[in-house]
Structure 1
Amino acid sequence: MTAIAVFRPNDDRMTHAVSLLEELGVEPIADPMLAVEPTGAVPREDADYTILTSKTGVELAAESGWSGSGTICAIGDSTASSLDDHGYAADIVPDEFSSRGLVASLADRVDGTRIEVARSDHGSSLLTDGLANAGAYVHETVLYRLVRPPEAGVSSERIDAIDGALFTSSLTVEHFLDAAQERDSREAAIEGLNNAIVGAIGEPTQKTAEAAGIAVDAIPKRADFETLARTVVDDIEAQEKRQTRYDATPR
């Protein structure tokens, strides 16, 4: 059976990822590369715009008692859905689910405004710099830190059996390679991925992977996990069909 490594945090996101891959008829190799460490910080409540960039950020903001501030912006549909689940409403969701997409959506309306960005400690500077360049006064609150779980790295031990891999952030790439390095198998892990179909959720993740020597084969048109997973599974199936036709060609 086709095996695909998935690196989501070890919470309901991994549960959903495993269920989805099983529905798609492949074997998930669950290897959580991220764990959440809340900081206890609370988003400011005096902003004209507040930006949330993840489901985790929404959950922590809600737990802190944050009442919401100004126009609320979500980086994508999953963040917007989480806002709705916690009694908030996303006023703005960009067409492109990325920091670049948020800047493009807000740039012509934020000159002179106060913007609160509430997210992890690994948020892209593209967002804060882009909004500042558009004339906004930007404040960032770090709601949580993303760390590598000590048990991460089982996928690198099964690298020869992996047909695909799903990277959902630059940090998952970095943590995967660090875990492989601790097992003295970094080069073998990179070689194994280059014999598989590697999916990256967006351009920043792609660049991180390729800078480390990992070829990226698939980037979904829509930057969400389900689209990423389906894209990689479709690419693997297409590759297998091409190989079958090649093997059946008379020589």
Structure 2
Amino acid sequence: MKVAVFRPDDERLDEAVELLESLDVNPVPDPMLAVHPTDETPRHADFVVLTSKTGVELADKNGWNPGDTTVCAIGERTAATLREYGYDVDIVPDEYSSRGLVAALADRVDGKSVEVARSDHGSDVLTDGLADAGADVHETVLYELVRPNEAGRSAELAADGDLDAALFTSSLTVEHFLAAAGDRGVRDEVMNALDDVLVGAIGAPTNDTAREHGVRVDVVPDTASFDRLAEEAVARLHDEPNDEAQV
């Protein structure tokens, strides 16, 4: 069984491929994101929010010093990277998502300044939610996410009926996958073929984006991590034929 994975072409893709191989499926690595740093650094604020491993690495490279700020990580992977680089982590939400982080901070940020440091494609759910909670929110773009020119191998496989599952790890991977299909002239074929492909989304925002584009989603793990997404999707593949997958 062939399972497409769209993580950036770094250790995250290597780890995803290794995990899928351990689950007895054939990974189809098809990076849909490439990182272009902006060389910006998070501003000082009462609370600083980091939303990715990449953001932490770039902030550290540019000499970020949080001082006495309350440091927030959107999930354990981001928190682990912060600790690896010697930063203290004060808040990690129970739900690793923008919604989860808003819920964790809502009662603490009224009248406070909050710096959100992330990519240029961050969800408005986080910034709007914090602003609605009374925070003075500023966003710094640490890096831009672009679609690699070579992306789209998995779309061609899907169009040929030769893909069993696709694991989307952000809203942008959904959009870039469909754009790559369009560039290769197979978007219509891919949209039809996805009815027979098990589709996984790492969390609610990615699920919402897929559905907005007409893509049925079969698997959304309770915890927004690639490991959980892959494990649950592959379990579904082993347990039932693709054409019996339920919405």
What range is the shorter-chain TM-score in? over 0.9
Q: Which amino acid aligns with 1:191?
A: N
Q: Give, in whole Å, the separation in 1 of the partners of 2:12 and 2:183.
A: 26
SS in 2 for 1:161: coil
Q: Give, in whole Å, the separation in 2 of the partners of 1:25 and 1:242.
A: 20
Q: Give, in whole Å, the separation in 2 of the partners of 1:112 and 1:210.
A: 36
SS in 1 for 2:138: strand
Q: Give, in whole Å, the separation in 2 of the partners of 1:55 and 1:116.
A: 17
Q: Give, in whole Å, the separation in 2 of the partners of 1:156 and 1:124.
A: 25
Deviation of 1:240 (Å): 4.2
Structure 1: tracts of 5 or more residues without a match = 244-251
Q: Give, in whole Å, the separation in 2 of the partners of 1:225 and 1:170.
A: 14
Q: Aligned pair in 2 of structure 1 residues 212, 242: CA closer, same or farther (>3 Å)?
A: closer
Q: Give, in whole Å, the separation in 1 of the partners of 2:59 and 2:101.
A: 20
Asked if residue 212 in structure 1 is aligned to residue 210 in structure 2, the reply is: no
Q: How many residue pairs get matched?
A: 241
Q: Give, in whole Å, the separation in 2 of the partners of 1:241 and 1:154.
A: 20
**How large is the RMSD of aligned CA atoms in angstroms?**
1.4
Q: Which amino acid aligns with 2:48?
A: T
Q: Give, in whole Å, the separation in 1 of the partners of 2:96 and 2:77.
A: 10
Q: Note the 1:1-251 alignment, pairs <5 A.
A: 2-45=1-44, 47-69=45-67, 70-159=69-158, 160-240=161-241
SS in 2 for 1:56: helix
Q: Give, in whole Å, the separation in 1 of the partners of 2:195 and 2:39.
A: 40
Deviation of 1:241 (Å): 11
Moved over 6 A (4+): none
Q: Which amino acid aligns with 1:120?
A: S
Structure 2: tracts of 5 or more residues without a match = none
TM-score for the superposition, normalised by structure 2: 0.95
Q: Which amino acid aligns with 1:133?
A: D
Q: Which amino acid aligns with 1:55?
A: K
1:126-165 CA-to-partner distances (Å, cap 9, x unmatched) read 1111111111111110000000000000001111111111
Q: Give, in whole Å, the separation in 2 of the partners of 1:132 and 1:212.
A: 28
| Aligned position for 1:248 | none
Q: Give, in whole Å, the separation in 1 of the partners of 2:70 and 2:124.
A: 21
Q: Do 2:198 and 2:242's aligned partners in 1 also have CA atoms closer than 8 Å?
A: no
TM-score for the superposition, normalised by structure 1: 0.93
Greater Cα offset, 202-211 or 117-126: 202-211
Deviation of 1:204 (Å): 1.4
SS in 2 for 1:92: coil
